[in-house]
Amino acid sequence: MLRVRRTSCYLEHCIAGNSKELQQGKSLFKVSLKLLVAISRLAGWWRHSLKTRPVLTNTIVYASFYTAAELSQQTFNKIYAPEKPELDLKSAGRIAAVGSSLYAPTLYFWYKFLDRKFVGTSMRAVLTKVASDQFLMTPVLLAGFYILLGFLEGKEDVLEELKQKYWKTFIANQAFWIPGQIINFAFVPPNLRVVYVASASFLWINILCFIKRQKVDVKET
């Protein structure tokens, strides 16, 4: 009789434990399901927005990635740089403003032009697009980047930083973007090209911000 009672208590304990685990599993499943539904809705909205409002959507994507890249660069410097600089939200705002207003709309229409002018993904078409992008559009965009930021920073000579850092930035740009743009024009669908470039830009902007943070040699007059 005693053995039966012990067995009964043991079974009740197991059932109670399993019930708690089952409830926890159900709760976790519900949370995961809600998260997946939210991600699915966000992805659906993003795809729809890319088709109906491509310039606005790409601008938002660029602003987000530029802000994230600049803040990640600042956070890295705050942790590892000897001077431990504080986060500069104004600087992040300027970077985001230039990146979203200059790069996003310009690249959207530029890539549409290249796809219409050089159709297909043959080696010749891809290399022509890459060469056009890197040696026609890139020099203009890099110059615009330094000039606009110089203007927003209130510098007396907005060309000073451009003169000292342009060629270093241009060479780094070619090393990063030529292979990146070969992938872009060869494999990425046209409607996702600006987003792909914005995603890759998260890495590139960290390089760009590193170059930009280097001090400018002021010539004494």
Give CA–CA dist 170/184, Å, rounded: 19
**Cβ atoms 204, 70 nearer than 8 A:** no
Task: Decide: pTM greater than 0.75.
Answer: no
Give CA–CA dist 72/113, Å, rounded: 33
**Taking 90 as the threshold, does the pLDDT of residue 171 lie above it?**
yes
Over residues 127-151, the mean pLDDT reads 93
Over residues 195-207, the mean pLDDT reads 80
Residues 149-178 as b or e (16 or more Cβ within 10 Å = b): bbebeeeeebebbbebbbeebbebbeebbe
Model pLDDT, residue 30: 63
Please, what is the angle between helix 193-213 and helix 160-187, to 10°? 150
Model pLDDT, residue 11: 45
Model pLDDT, residue 106: 93
Q: Which of the pair, 124 or 51, is modelled with greater confidence?
A: 124
Question: What is the average pLDDT score of the chain?
Answer: 80
Percent of the chain exceeding pLDDT 70 equals 77
**Cβ atoms 170, 139 nearer than 8 A:** yes
Model pLDDT, residue 113: 94
Model pLDDT, residue 193: 80
**Taking 90 as the threshold, does the pLDDT of residue 148 lie above it?**
yes
Model pLDDT, residue 2: 46
Sign of the C-alpha dihedral computed for residues 98, 180, 75 and 157 taken in this order: negative
Model pLDDT, residue 207: 83
**Taking 90 as the threshold, does the pLDDT of residue 135 lie above it?**
yes
Q: Find which of 2-16, 37-51, 89-103 is predicted with most confidence, using mean pLDDT.
A: 89-103
Rg for the chain, CA atoms, rounded: 26
Q: Find which of 39-43, 50-54, 132-136, 205-209 is predicted with most confidence, using mean pLDDT.
A: 132-136
Which DSSP category does 40 fall into?
H
Amino acid identity, position 218:
V
Over residues 191-208, the mean pLDDT reads 80
Model pLDDT, residue 117: 92
Q: Which of the pair, 175 or 7, is modelled with greater confidence?
A: 175
Model pLDDT, residue 211: 81
**Taking 90 as the threshold, does the pLDDT of residue 27 lie above it?**
no
Surface-to-core class of residue 81, CB atoms within 10 Å of its CB (0-12 exposed, 13-18 middle, 19+ buried) = exposed
Q: Which of the pair, 208 or 181, is modelled with greater confidence?
A: 181
Over residues 64-92, the mean pLDDT reads 84
Surface-to-core class of residue 41, CB atoms within 10 Å of its CB (0-12 exposed, 13-18 middle, 19+ buried) = exposed
Backbone angles phi, psi at 118, to 5 degrees: -120, 90
